[in-house]
Structure 1
């Protein structure tokens, strides 16, 4: 899930192979005397093999992500002193890392299940349901109302399905009829959380090959950000490296050539328990922020590229929300207070969307939610868009900064 960057200064066990967990076909028994026409009439039965992730990892140990050395000169000592540092500090976080890896394995399996199923003609609500219902099955959080602690596991934040000039923070509200078209460029950004440990990872879907260079530019910029990230690295230096790679690309769309520009007021971020944005922002342009990454931190490295102005603004119907952490007294309006109790019980400080409230039975919540936003109990996150007619792309991975190496924990075979 992206973060608008207010600080940008504009100047000038061994990793297990992921099984194919799509719906598998089970062929019916066929009698030898059965005619071919009878065979055609028989419908093949389908069996859904998706279940709680614990069923695939009975020992409770989840696959590590892709490891990468720190390449900076000031980090070389960390590699040579690996044994001592790893044992003394990293093992203290073993349970935390394992829960992050658990969420990452679920994220990969959801992606694998979705692979090849998204196509032109689908409604965005269908795509969101496909991703979210699969996530619910793997996490064992299919019905929050039946869970003792609804915040213990499940969806990390609403599934972003942002199309074309919409860069982020769009998910369909109830009744949305938007249909994905062949000529669209759609960002798919979803999260998984285990005990508040969040995996935030995203990719871009397009069908028309003329957008390939746009997607490549952003994917390579994200990979560069991951490579440059490390303990004691300044955030502005990561942004500068990302910017240099992304701006080296151009893309031809419908006969016109566009420079690929970073969306300079969007950024990555560190992740804290039950908080998708932990306080540090990872810019995608050089911005002069000398804040450093620190050992043990948990970051989402994400970049956005655009054929437009490279600057986003809020526009459109809001779908994303999150409860603010404050000490305000309960709302005086009973209906608003009831809705806030539902939000607090089921999401806490995790982001949510209107569809999630509908699912919990809060079907007439619009006015109460607006009241909670105006009174400061809830923060709204409207869609972030570039200029009309432009195209934006996004790629994102979650990384962990271990004492000796960094772990690209959400890495998969797909991206």
Structure 2
């Protein structure tokens, strides 16, 4: 079951001495990002599914973000292999060139060479303390005039590939399972303020999912309070993203750093 995958990954992170940086995402087929199964869900992985698992660890707010894709469907195995090759191509470029445009070009070229499309509106990203998506983006298509990565920066590179006949971009669905505090702000409503303080104490501004707070709230009440906080712009929500034409998507990701002495260091 999707939920079992999340709970096992998150439990392993805690057992190894880390903390969960964001809700573990399970993206099946065209579901591409920002889907975290909720308590009571019974969705199961099918024999022909393409399954992405996106997870992150933080220690004292310093985040590492990684993802893998798996399938038992031989039809899509070449897409997974091409996605891994695109990530390796990006790493090869980063060992000698820190221009983001060149990294994006390597990802796009590798995907095209093997007969696949990159998802044009999803990108890798820099990371900062308690921030999963910091200032710089690393697109999966070439764009001119992109900045250069600097020594000391930590960043995630994450190619997303889909089939050649797909639209090649993602759209918002009407499902929202991931949220994050915009900031710590009192509203003047005791129940809402107590929830903000609980989220701040557990997560600061890192993303969370409602199932993590069900020991303290009934689910219906919690979702109602989160809706109120979103209206007041105290929290933001992340819509589940799906490939526009319903085609399956593969993803592989590593977090890396540019170290003064060692150069490129792969952290995941």
Q: TM-score scaled by structure 1?
A: 0.61
Structure (1/2) with the larger strand percentage: 2
Q: Is the 8 A contact 1:242 1:285 kept in 2?
A: yes
Partner Cα separation in structure 2 for residue 392 and residue 321 of structure 1: 23
Q: Secondary structure at the match of 1:351?
A: coil
Cα deviation for residue 216 of structure 1 reads: 1.0
Q: 1:181 — aligned with what?
A: 46
Q: 2:4 — aligned with what?
A: 126
Cα deviation for residue 359 of structure 1 reads: 4.2
Structure 2 matches for 1:113-152, cutoff 5 A?
A: 123-139=1-17
Partner Cα separation in structure 2 for residue 342 and residue 403 of structure 1: 38
Question: Does the alignment pair 1:267 with 2:106?
Answer: no
Question: Does the alignment pair 1:324 with 2:189?
Answer: no
Q: Is the 8 A contact 1:235 1:289 kept in 2?
A: no
Change (3 A) 1:360 1:408: farther
Cα deviation for residue 199 of structure 1 reads: 1.1
Cα offsets for 1:7-31 (capped at 9, x unmatched): xxxxxxxxxxxxxxxxxxxxxxxxx
Find 1:337's aligned residue among 193, 213, 221.
Answer: 193
**Regions of 4+ moved over 3 Å:** 359-363
Question: Does the alignment pair 1:314 with 2:172?
Answer: yes
Q: Is the 8 A contact 1:187 1:393 kept in 2?
A: yes
Q: Is the 8 A contact 1:302 1:395 kept in 2?
A: yes
Cα offsets for 1:53-98 (capped at 9, x unmatched): xxxxxxxxxxxxxxxxxxxxxxxxxxxxxxxxxxxxxxxxxxxxxx
Q: Is the 8 A contact 1:161 1:170 kept in 2?
A: yes
Find 1:205's aligned residue among 70, 73, 88.
Answer: 70
Cα offsets for 1:203-233 (capped at 9, x unmatched): 0011112211110111111111122226872
Q: 1:379 — aligned with what?
A: 236
Cα deviation for residue 334 of structure 1 reads: 2.3
Structure 2 matches for 1:216-235, cutoff 5 A?
A: 216-229=81-94, 233-235=98-100
Q: Secondary structure at the match of 1:171?
A: coil
Partner Cα separation in structure 1 for residue 246 and residue 139 of structure 2: 25
Change (3 A) 1:360 1:156: farther
RMSD: 1.7
Q: TM-score scaled by structure 2?
A: 0.93
Unaligned 5+ runs, structure 2 = none
Which one has a bigger Cα radius of gyration?
1
Q: Is the 8 A contact 1:242 1:284 kept in 2?
A: yes
